[in-house]
Structure 1
Amino acid sequence: MFSTRLVRTAAVCVVLAAGATACAGDGKPAAKAPAAAPASPSASPVQTLDTEKLSGDEIMKQAHTAMSALTALKLDGSITTDGQKITMHLAADKAGNCKGTVAVGGEGQVEILHNGTGTWIKPDAAFWKKIGSEKANPKAGAAAAELFKGRYLTGGQDDTEIKQIAGMCDLIKGITQGGDDPDTKVTKGSAGTTNGVKTFSLVGTDPDGSRTTAYIATQGKPYLVRMEQTTGSEPGRMDFSEFDKPITVQAPPADEVIDFTLFKEKLKTA
């Protein structure tokens, strides 16, 4: 099945970003996620996926090829990991442009802007307070929420925490990286409609018994429309859309930006 390890690891790092935990990799199986449909129907003769003749592995291989060739996509979905639900609405491209939001349960939301020149994050008040709590200074979080309200945090490109949050933007690589797991058994499901797109489902079963369902578009390019896991302790579902749609990310106005160094100083003295 598709690998979502990088997406999941980055999501976990958002949860831990306020602390000092390193997120080079957690070693756990990737939480299975979802995907959405082609941005628009093909204008030329519509290619149809022959689900009768193709095996499940062959269908999955075609979907891998289509998704790997994408230049941009949008992700909408959620993953539950370590008991926390992480909700993502992000658009990213291979050029490094990315924008959207990531919310962590009841602990706040972070808006992310990222391009070739920098990363800007705008936590809401709840997330600022979480940062203060993780830094063993709850008052600092409340003070930061008020001081930096409506502003983006930038700089700190060498800071591990900022890198972890920016890592959420590597969607295409995270979704398509790696080949199929030989230990995962893929079986054919059935035809249906997902997000208004005609799809065919594939079910992957891991050695531990957890099952992931992938929904592949059967008309036009065989994009992964949705991927979800409903069994196990880490359920997730993600939908992908806006395939190859150009993404433009501009730096916020200077008066809406706070430098990372100033943020660190204020957090210490608040």
Structure 2
Amino acid sequence: MKTFTTRVVAVSGAIAISLGAAACSKSETPVAGSAGTTSATGAATSTTAASGDATEASDILSKAKTSALAAKSGAFVGQVDQNGKTIKIDFKGTSDGKTADITIDMEGDGKARVISLADGVFIQADAEFWKKQGAPASVQKAGNKFIKAPTSASAMTESLSLKTFLEKAFGAVTPSQLAKDVASEDVNGVPCWVLTDKKGKTEGALYVSKDKFEVVRFTGSSASPGQLDFSKWNEDLGIKAPAASEIMKIG
């Protein structure tokens, strides 16, 4: 599933670019450091599904896509490699993108966090990120403070939506790419079906829960390594705006 991995890497990069674009809008934008939570790789025990026990790969893929795109909210955490650099991402958000809390740590380009809510978009970033983005001097002095992005930045919320991310990711996967054999594996205590590229697991794998056909994890290929772990499907993510004391006013 090399194409799937490449697409996810591209989408992650697009999120980073969106943050940068917002940062350069007139006089607002930051995100500092809330480091993304560490990806829980958890021990996974692999066993080949018994004959007749597994649904066909194409059917599992279809059900996983339907379940993911129907979700109202979700979260994922992990890292992907882009052009030889590692991007760490911690994403929580709704399908429509109106509510989101995203932290991205880009090797060599700094760390940024964006909180998107109905009443505004708040961004916080470290000095390295703002310098790379050529942000205004006032923004570069924000430190750990959030800055409320200009109204124009709210247009980026759609590009940060869970649904947009999933549509682009699943749009890169076709049943013809999948190996016919479906494995059975426990990931962090969740029994999953494991769909792999025809060339084997080292070239990409998608882990889908057996009970609800929810995406649990995907791993990248040897050319585009990475891993994202998914959770909190359809849950209340508890995303709130920064406290007033955490927001820097720009005159």
TM-score, structure 2 length as denominator?
0.71
Residue number among 208, 213, 220 corresponding to 2:205 in the alignment: 213
CA contact (8 A) 2:79 2:87 kept: yes
Q: How far off its partner does 1:187 sit? A: 2.8
SS at match of 1:54: coil
Shift of 1:253: 3.5
Aligned to 2:215: 224
Q: Aligned equivalents of 1:52 and 1:63: distance in 2? A: 17
Alignment-derived partner of residue 194 in structure 2: 201
**1:97·1:247 contact (CA, 8 Å) conserved in 2?**
no
3-state SS, counterpart of residue 216 of structure 1: strand
From 157, 160, 171, the equivalent of 1:169 is 160
Identical columns (%):
20
Task: Check the 8 A contact 1:112/1:119 in 2, yes or no.
Answer: yes
| 1:93-108 to 2 correspondences below 5 Å | 93-95=94-96, 96-108=98-110
Q: Deviations over 1:200-239 (max 9, x none)?
A: 2111349xxx932111112x2011111111321x222100
- Flag the structure with larger Rg: 1
- Greater Cα offset, 80-89 or 122-131: 122-131
Residue in 2 that maps onto 1:47: none
- The 3-state SS of whatever aligns with 1:122 is strand
Alignment of 1:121-160 (within 5 A): 121-132=123-134, 144-145=139-140, 147-158=141-152
Q: Distance in 1 between matches of 2:112 and 2:83?
A: 19
Q: Is the 8 A contact 2:78 2:228 kept in 1?
A: yes
Residue of structure 2 equivalent to 1:251: 241
- Return 5+ residue gaps in structure 2 as ranges: 23-38, 41-50
> Secondary structure of 1:158's match?
helix
**Alignment-derived partner of residue 35 in structure 2:** none
Aligned to 1:114: 116
Asked whether the 8 Å contact 2:194–2:208 carries over to 1, the reply is yes
Q: Is the 8 A contact 1:10 1:167 kept in 2?
A: no
CA contact (8 A) 2:11 2:165 kept: no
What code does the residue aligned with 2:143 have? K
- Cα deviation, 1:83-132, whole Å, max 9, x if unaligned, reads 22111111111252111311101432112101123211100233223334
What's the CA shift string for 1:52-82, capped at 9, x where partnerless?
A: 3521111211222222221111110111112
* One-letter amino acid of the counterpart of residue 66, structure 2: T
The equivalent residue for 2:180 is 187
